[in-house]
Structures are given as structure tokens and as C-alpha cells.
Amino acid sequence: MALDPDYKNAPFAYYRFEPSMVAAIIFIALFALTTALHTWQLCRTRVWFAITFVLGGYCGGIQSSGTLSAMHAGEKMIIAGLWV
């Protein structure tokens, strides 16, 4: 089955999803803020289990950046996470 680029008016489409630029920018800012806070906590208190939070923040920021860059890609947009 071929993918119709006009998914809004297509008789069948897997996802009728249009990525939001505002939401992507907000999540990039939130991931950057929480990652910076967790990095500061990690270095200050040497709580090494917080490395998972820092890595999760970096990966979340990369995923939101990928969504932002793929906004106008149409059928090539990112649906799943970059790393599963």
C-alpha cells in the first residue's frame, strides 16, 4: 500500500498526526533545564545513580530535536523514538 502524502484527506492513514513546533521547543527547553539540574546535582553530591536521569535527558532532547527537524518531512517524520 502506497503512502499518500495528503494524509488529512486520505481515505486511510495510519496516523493523522501533525507534529507541533511549539511543543517540540517546549520539550527541548524542559529537557535541557532538567538535564542541567540533574548534572549539577550529580556533580555536587556524587549520587551516581542520577547518571540515568542525565542520559535520559540527553536522549529526550535529541528525540525532540529530531521531531523538530522532521516537521516538514511528511512521510519521513519520526514516529518512534530514535533508540528503542
What's the pLDDT score for residue 4?
56
- Binned at pLDDT 50, 70 and 90, residue 30 comes out as confident
The C-alpha atoms of residue 15 and residue 36 are separated, in whole angstroms, by: 34
More confidently predicted of 57 and 7: 57
Total-model pTM = 0.57
What is the distance between the alpha carbons of residues 28 and 58, in angstroms, rounded to a whole number?
10
- Cell numbers 532532547 correspond to what residue? 61
pLDDT at 60: 78
Using CB atoms within 10 Å of the CB of residue 16, give its burial: 0 to 12 exposed, 13 to 18 middle, 19+ buried: exposed
User: Other CB atoms closer than 10 Å to residue 77's CB: what's the count?
Assistant: 16
What is the Cα gyration radius of the chain?
A: 17
